[in-house]
Amino acid sequence: MLKKLPKALRNFYIVTGGIFLVWMLVLDSNDFVSRYKLSAKLSSLESEKEYYAEKIKEVQKDHEELMGTRELLEKFAREKYLMKKSTEDIFVVVEE
């Protein structure tokens, strides 16, 4: 029966290597499909990290404005939250 198989399939090292290759490509917990999904998730998380780093910088800048002088606090409140004094009127101009 072994004589009918091609010579390459009778070689122990080729058969063992083929089984190992199939195991690593398909059956192992660290196969190529899992690796691809993990690398895609990693790149997604890295882009989210950059986004949140930018947001942190913006919040720190706003915090410095708020903790500055009284004039900066008033300027911040007027620009961000459209606050006004009781004797003032606010006009919001929307550019198209």
pLDDT at 35 over 90: no
Give percent of the chain above pLDDT 90.
Answer: 28
Whether the predicted pLDDT of 46 surpasses 70: yes
The residue extents of the domains of the chain are 47-86
CA atoms within 13 A of residue 25's CA, in its CB half-sphere: 6
Residue 1 has pLDDT above 70, yes or no: no
Q: Taking the complete model, does pTM exceed 0.85, yes or no?
A: no
Q: Count of CB atoms within 10 A of residue 76's CB?
A: 15
Structure tokens belonging to residue 3: 């004589």
Q: For 33-40, what is the mean pLDDT?
A: 90
What is the spatial distance between Cα 50 and Cα 41, in angstroms, rounded to a whole number? 14
Residue 43 has which token pair? 């790149």
